[in-house]
């Protein structure tokens, strides 16, 4: 795994897993390298916080400078808390 860039993209998509609909959350850096992912039943601030905190913990060396999202309210609240 290469060193992750400081510009990240966070997004979620709705997929079917084992007959149930779930949200697949992904954190990807500007180079297209996946930083972290999470599968949840809900699209809420708790899931957004978990994916971003785990991604930051996984990279360890540096925090993201910018995080590009789809402007969901859950991301705004979590990014304010992280900062």
Domains, in order of start, for the chain: 7-82 (3.30.420.10)
The per-residue DSSP string of 23-61 comes to EEEEEEETTS-EEEEEEES--SHHHHHHHHHHHHHHH-S
| pLDDT for the residue 82 | 80
Q: Give the tokens for residue 67.
A: 């995080």
| pLDDT for the residue 57 | 86
Q: Which tens digits make up the pLDDT trace of 1-48? A: 566 678 888 888 999 999 999 999 998 888 888 888 999 999 888 888
Higher pLDDT, 63 or 36: 36
Predicted structure pTM score:
0.76
């Amino acid at each position: 795994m290469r060193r992750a860039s400081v510009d990240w993209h966070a997004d979620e998509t709705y997929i079917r897993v084992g007959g149930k609909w779930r949200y697949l959350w992904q954190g990807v850096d500007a180079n297209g390298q996946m930083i972290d992912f999470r599968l949840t039943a809900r699209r809420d601030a708790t899931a957004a916080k978990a994916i971003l905190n785990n991604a930051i913990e996984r990279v360890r060396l540096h925090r993201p400078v910018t995080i590009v999202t789809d402007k969901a309210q859950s991301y705004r609240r979590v990014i304010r808390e992280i900062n």
